[in-house]
Amino acid sequence: MGAIRYNFERVNSIAGDRPVLAVVKADGYGHGAVQISRTLLGAGAHGLAVAYLEEALEIREAGISAPVIVLFGLPADKVSYCFDYNLTPVVWSVEQASALSGEATRRSSSITLHIKIDTGMGRLGLHPGEAVESIVRIIDMPGLAVEGILSHFSDADLASADVADAQLELFRSVDSKLQDRGIRIRFRHMANSAAVISFRASLLDMVRPGLMLYGYNPVPEQSDLDLRPAMTVKSTVISVKRVPTGTPVSYGRTFCTKRESLIATMAAGYADGFSTALSNRGRVIVRGKIAPVVGRVCMDLAMLDVTEVDGVSVGDKVTLIGEEAGHGCWADAMAGLAGTIPYEILTSIGKRVTRVYQ
């Protein structure tokens, strides 16, 4: 877990004295939410952010008592869980807040929440033109303590600086109007990993990094940022066979050998997160050498051309994500081959893949 702690320190060095809300949704980006949460909190994270209730409950049931923010809210019939488990929901409507207030009143209790503003994502959040009046109404509801307001950049990598600037300005305008009414919200937060790295004006009162905690840089042009990928994924060779020229490999015969070849089968497939998009284009490391994926990736297996790799035998380890003998196979490169993003590669690692923490 040293890489996670190291990456957190990189965030902390930029954030200064701002609290860090560590994003551990999607099972800690595939790394294991409970173990990652403990490591990040031990390193100094203020709290944790998850997507859904079930993720928050897993963290609470593991005995973690730190603040947990549920980013994508709760159904009205589940609001009681926020009180039972001391969770901080994000709301984006007066109706959601009213349901929480009603539960607080029934319990003679109170709850802390954050309010989301849609500054251009077009997904969730109060419209900026209606946000101030809605937030004022929510603040006036009994049993509610509005601790934060937040928004979300529509470009995860902040590829368009003009768009990011406009979103931040919209967010600031809402906050400014609230302050004109004497309302000062404790935490204002927008900064994802890319913003932490390259958009310092958006750091505000709290930062909310995700991808960079796991060792990947969403702003590749910032090549001087030193991050360490936290996840290594390995499989095992379970079969090696020598086949003649013209031998089809895997479903649909999308690959046929053009020479006598040595084909190894590894015990990993798309059910483990090794995408079918890597069929006939993926790369792994076997015995310190790069080996191409050949044929379609199956649910549980994938085939490799190891003709150029000396001494391959059953039981050899295969590095899907990681580094060996100077060769690297990392999630961002894999994403490029698969036509996707590293977030998807990491979060697709299946539950049946055993996690070992060091």
* Measured CA angle at 11 (ends 8, 13), to 5 deg: 110
Is residue 263 within 8 Å of residue 294, measured between CB atoms? yes
DSSP 276: G
> 189, exposed or middle or buried, with CB in 10 Å at 0-12, 13-18, 19+?
buried
Residue 343 has which token pair? 């977030």
CA dist 135 → 132, 201, 209 (Å): 5, 24, 25
Query: Of the residues 25, 29, 214, 270, which is catalytic?
Result: 25
Q: Whole-angstrom Cα distance, residue 219 to residue 36?
A: 23
Tokens 């209606």 belong to 130
Query: CA 166, CA 199: separation in Å to the nearest integer?
Result: 13
78 is an active site residue: no
Structure tokens at 138: 């929510």
Secondary structure letter of residue 60 according to DSSP:
H
User: Is 251 among the residues known to form the active site?
Assistant: yes
Angle at which helix 53-61 crosses helix 33-43, to 10 degrees, equals: 70
Q: Measuring CA to CA, which residue among 131, 120, 123 is closest to residue 93?
A: 131
Which one from 241, 251, 351, 357 is the annotated catalytic residue? Answer: 251
Q: Tokens representing 284? A: 């792994």
At position 290, the amino acid (one-letter code) is I
Phi/psi at 124 (nearest 5 deg)?
-130, 150
Q: Which residues are catalytic?
A: 25, 251
